[in-house]
Amino acid sequence: MMVPDAVDPVKNRDNVKAYLGLVTSKLKEKFSDNWQKLIPYVNATISAESKFDPVDEKHVSRAGRGTGFFQLSDAMFGVLDKELGLQGRLVNDHELGNDPETAARITAQLMYDYVYGRFDEKGHMVEGPSLAALVDDNKEIQATLNPQSARDSYLEWLQNPNDLNKTNLKSNALVKARSAQYGWHPGQVLKFPNGLHAFLPALDFDVKYQRLIHDVQDSSKTLQDASHDWREGYEISGDSAFAKKVQLLNEQYDDELKKQMGLHPDTKLSEVKLSSLTPSQLRYLMNAQRIYASHMEETLRLRHEEVTKPNKKVRY
């Protein structure tokens, strides 16, 4: 599982290793055989909202303070308290949502509600867009939930934020699914969800990470293949500040990869077989990938702000 910035240097803890098993166990309890279909979406959402660290959201709104793996507004504490049978404890103590066990239960319950529909009491959602497609067995429906297609639509909009590209992005199945998490209720126009700069790359890089795990067993695959696959989809042309920053990240990746792995600068990545890497070299490879993903996520965030807040000065 690839989650940029999920390693807490202060606590010396990898949040994914610490909490993914707990979240997974709660999803299994709620969804039985369907839980695996939800993992990519859940992981991407947690990556975007909390980096797998169940703590208070950094900002406080008038609606309340977010908490746990999925960030919550004040309206949801009462709903979830009732659904989880907490008898007022979550309502009276929002900090309870930061307890890893409770945070994992909240995550599973929220996903259940998003998939099968519920809420209200001003948490809304009873009807409207849901995540039912995530557990649908129809292959055509599953095919619409394509992380690469969503990524491409997002990058196209970031490069050319015109009405057509915005409409195409908002109509993407994964973007619409994320919209379901942002207060939609009957009678409203679908919102353009925030957090896409982290959510969509998280989905994309997780798919690539799973591919890498497979490729290290393939004697024909090389470091050059891994490098190309990791950057695939982020090749942006143009001379805008955004395009130049993305181009620079791509240009620097191979050098960073060699540096992380302790390889000579003149090493030809095409001559290094993935299957020949030691466990420590694999860890360094994945660290280089995390660095790239983290820098790309931050670059996309800055461009998103530049597009949506044109009066704000952004420095890449």
Residue 131 has pLDDT above 70, yes or no: yes
The pLDDT tens digits for 57-79 are 544 443 445 567 877 777 788 88
Q: Is residue 313 part of a domain?
A: no
Q: Is residue 316 part of a domain?
A: no
The pLDDT tens digits for 229-267 are 999 999 998 889 999 999 999 999 999 899 888 899 999
Q: Is residue 303 part of a domain?
A: yes
Q: Is residue 2 part of a domain?
A: no
- 86 and 100 belong to one structural domain: yes
Quote the strand ranges of the chain, DSSP E: 7-8, 13-14, 60-61, 64-65
Q: Is residue 241 part of a domain?
A: yes
The pLDDT tens digits for 184-194 are 444 444 456 77
- 57 and 99 belong to one structural domain: yes
- 222 and 263 belong to one structural domain: yes
Q: Is residue 220 part of a domain?
A: yes
Portion of the chain with pLDDT greater than 90, in percent: 32
The whole-number pLDDT of residue 61 equals: 42
Mean pLDDT of 18-29: 88
- 62 and 176 belong to one structural domain: no
Contact between residue 75 and residue 94 where contact means Cβ atoms under 8 Å apart: no
25-29, 32-36, 49-53, 299-303: the lowest-pLDDT one: 49-53
Q: Is residue 185 part of a domain?
A: yes
Domain boundary among 98, 115, 142: 142
Residue 182 has pLDDT above 60, yes or no: no
The whole-number pLDDT of residue 26 equals: 93
- How many structural domains compose the chain? 2
Residue 4 has pLDDT above 60, yes or no: no
- 44 and 84 belong to one structural domain: yes
- 110 and 175 belong to one structural domain: no
Domain boundary among 99, 116, 142: 142
Q: Is residue 30 part of a domain?
A: yes
Which band of pLDDT confidence, cut at 50, 70 and 90, is reported for residue 128?
A: low
- 126 and 150 belong to one structural domain: no
Note down the domain range covering 198: 144-308
Tell me the CB-side half-sphere exposure of residue 208, using CA atoms within 13 A: 26
Domain boundary among 125, 142, 159: 142
- 111 and 170 belong to one structural domain: no
2-11, 80-89, 103-112, 267-276: the lowest-pLDDT one: 2-11
b vs e for 193-214, b when ≥16 Cβ sit within 10 Å of the residue's Cβ? bebbbbbbbbbbbbbbbeebee
